[in-house]
Structure 1
Amino acid sequence: MENLSKKITSMINEISRPVKIMHVCGSHEHTIMQYGIRSLLPDEVEVIAGPGCPVCCVPIEEIDECVELAKQGVTVTTFGDMFRVPGSKGSLADAKAEGADVRIVYGINNAVEIAKNIDNDVVFMAVGFETTAPTTASEILTEPPENFSILCCHRLIPPVLDFLISSGEVKLDGLIEPGHVSTIIGMEPYVPISEKYKIPQVIAGFNPLDVLMAVYMILKQINEGRAEVENEYSRVVKREGNIRAQKVMKEVFKVVTKSWRGFPKVPNSVLELKKEFSEYNAREKYDIEVESKEDKSGCICGEILRGVARPEDCPLFRKVCTPMNPIGACMVSREGTCNIAYRYGSK
Structure 2
Amino acid sequence: MKYIEEFQDPQLARRLLDEIHATVTRPWALMEVCGGQTHSIIRHGIDQLLPEQLELIHGPGCPVCVTPLEMIDKALEIAARPGVIFCSFGDMLRVPGTGRDLFQVRAAGGDVRVVYSPLDALRVAQDNPGSEVVFFGIGFETTAPPNAMTVHQASRLGIRNFSLLVSHVRVPPAIEAIMRSPDCRVDAFLAAGHVCSVMGVGEYPALADTFRVPIVVTGFEPLDILEGVRRAVRQLENGEHRVENGYARAVRDEGNAAAKEMIADIFEVTDRAWRGIGVIPGSGWRLAPRYREFDAEDRFDVGDITTSEPAECRSGEVLQGLLKPHQCEAFGTTCTPRNPLGATMVSSEGACAAYYLYRRLGGTRATATSPTVEATPVG
Taking structure 1 as the reference length, the TM-score comes to 0.97
**Correspondences of 1:1-347 after superposition (within 5 Å):** 1-16=9-24, 17-73=26-82, 74-118=84-128, 119-142=130-153, 143=155, 145-296=159-310, 298-346=312-360
Deviation at 1:310?
Answer: 0.9
* Matching residue's letter, 1:201: I
Structure-1 separation of matches of 2:291 and 2:99: 29
Does the 8 Å CA contact 1:64/1:89 hold for their aligned counterparts? Answer: no
Structure 1 segments of 4+ aligned residues over 3 angstroms from their partners: none
* Matching residue's letter, 1:22: M
* Matching residue's letter, 2:340: P
Deviation at 1:290?
Answer: 3.8
Does the 8 Å CA contact 1:76/1:124 hold for their aligned counterparts? Answer: yes
RMSD: 1.2
Deviation at 1:302?
Answer: 0.7
Structure-1 separation of matches of 2:37 and 2:10: 19
1:260-316 Cα deviation digits (max 9, x unpaired): 001121000111001100110111111213443222251111110000001111111
> Which secondary structure does the structure 2 equivalent of 1:188 belong to?
coil
Structure-2 separation of matches of 1:147 and 1:246: 26
* Matching residue's letter, 1:69: I
Structure-2 separation of matches of 1:131 and 1:234: 17
Does the 8 Å CA contact 1:297/1:327 hold for their aligned counterparts? Answer: no
Structure-1 separation of matches of 2:220 and 2:303: 39
Does the 8 Å CA contact 1:186/1:240 hold for their aligned counterparts? Answer: yes
Deviation at 1:124?
Answer: 0.5
Q: Percent identity?
A: 37
Does the 8 Å CA contact 2:74/2:305 hold for their aligned counterparts? Answer: no
* Runs of 5+ consecutive residues of structure 1 not aligned to the other structure: none
Deviation at 1:147?
Answer: 0.5
* Runs of 5+ consecutive residues of structure 2 not aligned to the other structure: 1-8, 361-365, 367-379
Structure-2 separation of matches of 1:303 and 1:21: 16
Number of residues paired by the alignment? 347
* Matching residue's letter, 2:214: P
Taking structure 2 as the reference length, the TM-score comes to 0.89
> Which secondary structure does the structure 1 equivalent of 2:203 belong to?
helix
Does the 8 Å CA contact 1:61/1:290 hold for their aligned counterparts? Answer: no
1:316-337 Cα deviation digits (max 9, x unpaired): 1111222222221001111100
